Amino acid sequence: MSVNQYVPDNKESKYADSARAFRQNVAKDLADEQLRSNFHGAMNYLMDKRKASFPSSDELETLRQQCKLIKQRALVKLPLLLEQLENKLHENGIQVHWAETINDANEIIAQIIESKNGKNIVKGKSMVSEETALNDYLQARNMEILESDMGEYIVQLAKEHPSHIIMPAIHQNKKQVADLFAEHVKGFEYTTDVDTLIGEGRRILRDKFSRADVGITGVNFAVAETGTICLVENEGNGQMSSAVPDLHIAITGIEKVVEFLEDIPPLLSLLTRSATGQAITTYFNMITKPRKSDEKDGPEEVHLVLLDNGRSQAFADEELRQTLQCIRCGACMNHCPVYTRIGGHAYGTVYPGPIGKIISPHQLGIEATKDLPTASSLCGACGEVCPVKIPIPQILQRLRVESVKKPTGSPKELKGTGANRKTTEALTWQVWSFIHRHPNIYAVSMWFATRLRALVPNKLGAWTRVRSAPKPAAKTLHERIKLRTEEAS
């Protein structure tokens, strides 16, 4: 085998198993009062902040419409924009790599690091690198990788994964963080004072930055027109990771590309306001080239890894394609009554909440995620706040249909289609639909249903665990109306 022949590793993502355990996770996390109160407080805070940052609903609605169309334009031109982005980045001196699967992406990154003999790796916040489980992959190759976003750092210390896409450690309160520091940080004097805790994190992480030779970050937007990678952040860790080490590797999903530089300002404004209610984040970092020969800092090499992992599959269906408009603001989870109660870990997926329910089936298949779309009251809050107007409730219903329909084996079909299909349920609905299409049979069956109402069993599986069994009325609505009309005349 030549060195150029890499055998793709199609091992299932570790999140598939945890997503399968959704029901057990929910039961466990709902019973955790501390967790519920942490989420409750945090979601209220984020909802208020968002609301205050959009004083004019005219402005908000115009911006949402504009940004939806910007993203839809980018998607309908996606293959062209990806090629343009690649060309521009090449011109600028940034190297581009493509990966269809998470393990391919991890392997690319591992090999780039090995080729430069990288030892000390720092990572800025990146949900795509969570998606690929990059830390596990690199650690298995004996590479040390340190999360540098404060929230991610806490989550890494706790050996957990983020419970929110913007605020990764939102499930922990300051006491829990202090306990973690006491356990893991040498010389830490116990305190729950947040300034001191952050000061400790700063001391440790700045020391790591000053020794790091590899920096890994995500990407918020990639601009095809100019070949520019944009990072949105408050802490400065993204900038530390991208500007201080000699080697910068950015990883992103293929849907993050936009066409023009002028598409960025409205998207940025909606992103930060929807996410945390900030007019803008402390830092907005636009990277277009590696260090030039006359410059005194910046990475000598910059790489961008473009990951598919199910995105091209979502792209194949016009309705599901809208999922790819997402700019990862987190507003849908902040406003979701289910997320607020069960928290981010219960989903078992990388992306929790409403966006997680609609994107995970493309990444993990419907079989592993079949319970997720059902965990919604379809209240519609997510769709109403989504800055790029993704009709999340509509897509949830669509995914429910996909999970119970008969698979046809078409290549466009989602992996695991029909995983929730049960013969009795399918049969019941077939009978139901037959009856409702035939008025005579309908009338007869209704007559029986009302007359035999006493025979309805008291126990109806899951339904009667928390409710009493429904009983048909003594007379159908038709009969009663008929009776009333007769009485009146």
Partner 1 sequence: MSYKFEEQSKSARNAILAKLKAQVAGADYEKLPEEPTFEYAKQSREQLLENFVSLLKSNHAEVLPIKEEEIGAVVVKQLQKRKIDSLLYNPNAQYANALASSFGASSTELTLLPFDFNVNENKLNYFNDIPASITSSRWAIAETGTIVLWPTPDEPRTMSLVPPVHFVIADADTLHSNFASLVEQQNWKAQMPTNVLLISGPSKTADIQQTLAFGAHGPKELIVLLLNSQ
Q: Sheet containing 247-253: which strands, arranged edge to edge?
A: 95-99, 301-307, 247-253, 214-217, 120-123, 144-147
Q: Which is nearer to partner 1, 17 or 193 (CB)?
A: 193
Per CB under 8 A, contacts with partner 1 among 267-306 are 268-269, 276, 279-292, 294-298, 301, 306
**Helix residue spans in 77-231 (DSSP H):** 78-92, 102-115, 127-131, 134-140, 150-157, 174-184, 194-211
Report which of 138, 157, 137 is spatially closest to residue 147, judged by C-alpha positions. Answer: 157
Q: Does 328 bind ligand SF4 (CB under 6 A)?
A: yes
* Contact in structure between 253 and 313 (CB atoms under 8 Å): no
Q: Which is nearer to partner 1, 283 or 442 (CB)?
A: 283
Among 212, 314, 326, 342, binds ligand SF4 (CB under 6 A): 326
Q: Which is nearer to partner 1, 93 or 407 (CB)?
A: 93
Given CA atoms 207, 212, 218, 219 in this order, what sign does their dihedral have? positive
Among 84, 120, 312, 394, binds partner 1 (CB under 8 A): 312
The size of the interface with ligand SF4 (CB under 6 A), counted in residues, is 14
Rounded Cα gap, residues 338 and 335, in angstroms = 9
Q: How far is the CB of 271 from ligand SF4 (least distance, A)?
A: 8
Among 388, 395, 396, 399, binds ligand SF4 (CB under 6 A): 388
Q: How far is the CB of 31 from ligand SF4 (least distance, A)?
A: 27
Cβ count within 10 A of residue 430: 10
* Contact in structure between 450 and 476 (CB atoms under 8 Å): yes
Q: How far is the CB of 321 from partner 1 (least distance, A)?
A: 8
Per CB under 8 A, contacts with partner 1 among 396-435 are none
* Contact in structure between 43 and 49 (CB atoms under 8 Å): no
Q: How far is the CB of 351 from ligand SF4 (least distance, A)?
A: 8
Give residues with Cβ within 8 angstroms of 252, minimum separation 6. Answer: 128, 218, 219, 222, 304, 305, 306, 307
Q: Does 320 bind ligand SF4 (CB under 6 A)?
A: no
Rounded Cα gap, residues 182 and 31, in angstroms = 27
Site track 105-144 with partner 1 (rule: CB under 8 A), x = hit: --xx--xx-xx-----------------------------
Per CB under 6 A, contacts with ligand SF4 among 276-295 are none
Site track 330-369 with ligand SF4 (rule: CB under 6 A), x = hit: xxx---------------------xx--------------
Rounded Cα gap, residues 122 and 153, in angstroms = 11
The residue to which tokens 């139901």 are assigned: 432
Stretch that binds ligand SF4, among 121-129, 153-161, 324-332, 470-478 (CB under 6 A): 324-332
Among 387, 393, 416, 418, binds ligand SF4 (CB under 6 A): 387
Q: Does 33 bind partner 1 (CB under 8 A)?
A: no
Half-sphere exposure at residue 232, Cβ-oriented, CA atoms within 13 angstroms: 23
How far CA 425 is from CA of 37, 127, 431, in Å, comes to 38, 37, 10
Among 46, 102, 381, 386, binds ligand SF4 (CB under 6 A): 386
Half-sphere exposure at residue 135, Cβ-oriented, CA atoms within 13 angstroms: 23
Among 29, 131, 147, 149, binds partner 1 (CB under 8 A): 149
Q: Does 329 bind ligand SF4 (CB under 6 A)?
A: yes
Q: How far is the CB of 386 from ligand SF4 (least distance, A)?
A: 3
Q: Which is nearer to ligand SF4, 138 or 375 (CB)?
A: 375
Q: Which residues bind ligand SF4 (CB under 6 A)?
A: 326-332, 354-355, 385-388, 390
